[in-house]
Structure 1
Amino acid sequence: MSESSKAARNRQLALHGFTEFAAGNIDVLRTLLHEDFIEHSPENPSGREAFIAFIAEAPVARARLDLKRVIADDDHVVMHYHMATDDDPRGIAVVDIWRMIDGQIVEHWDVVQPVPEAAQIPYGMF
């Protein structure tokens, strides 16, 4: 498989998973995450089952997720999105970095930033 087709396949798998998760289907993570999934975010557990149990109770599972961009390069897929709730309409800007092997996510990193008042970001967050 060429590098560009691998990136395209990983992009499509991650995009499908994101779309399903954003629609409320947490079970999509059972096929998308590798059993030995490694999580690099502080206080978030590694391992597929532990991570799914954690994320099912996390605010992201009940938030509106508005995907802004997807970038894929070889084994890595980067997703930039806006996460908001009724209680926090400004929400949070999130960048997830996924490393994928053989159609499953094996590692995850993220960067999370609260969206400030519009006057503080004249060019926008997204």
Structure 2
Amino acid sequence: MSEELIKNKENAIAFYEMAYNGNPKRAVELYVGSDYIQHNPLVGDGPQPFIDYFNRMASEYPNKSIEFVRSVAEDNLVALHTHQIWPGNEEYVTMDFFRFDRDGKIVEHWDAMQQIPKTSENGNTMY
């Protein structure tokens, strides 16, 4: 794996962890490019709506946690597979995709989130 792909994976994780844990402004300053396209329908385009959303999440849900289960990088994309636990012990699996520009900055984001059910028909975990 190239050094660029390794760095993009590290930066995607650092960005997400920093924003998730209550410092989205700093995460944007360090890791986001001049343009930021958002595909999550709950968050507006651009850096400021992202900051506002994660500040609100930190305020409303201070005791949430995240574990990065795996990351995959190809070309200018990084995918993160996470396990999140929110208040009330609600558990979610998420998949986030980040596109990086030539300068190694995040410029686009997609995600999908699913609550982890109490039972599974196949007995497999979601990880």
Mapped pair 1:30 → 2:8? no
Look up the match of 1:106: 107
Query: Normalising by the residue count of structure 1, what TM-score does the alignment of the two structures yield?
Result: 0.83
Which blocks of at least 5 consecutive residues in structure 1 are unaligned? Answer: none
29 and 118 in structure 1: CA distance in 2 versus 1, 3 angstrom threshold: farther
Look up the match of 2:38: 39
93 and 56 in structure 1: CA distance in 2 versus 1, 3 angstrom threshold: same
| RMSD of aligned Cα (Å) | 2.2
Contact 1:6 1:75 (8 Å CA) reproduced: no
Q: CA deviation at 1:23?
A: 4.3
Contact 2:22 2:54 (8 Å CA) reproduced: no
Q: CA deviation at 1:90?
A: 3.8
Contact 1:37 1:107 (8 Å CA) reproduced: yes
Look up the match of 1:13: 11
Query: Normalising by the residue count of structure 2, what TM-score does the alignment of the two structures yield?
Result: 0.82
* Residue pairs, 1:1-126, within 5 angstroms: 4-26=2-24, 27-58=26-57, 62=62, 63-87=64-88, 89-101=89-101, 102-120=103-121, 122-126=123-127
Q: 2:53, 2:90 → 1: CA distance? A: 24
Aligned length: 123
Which blocks of at least 5 consecutive residues in structure 2 are unaligned? Answer: none
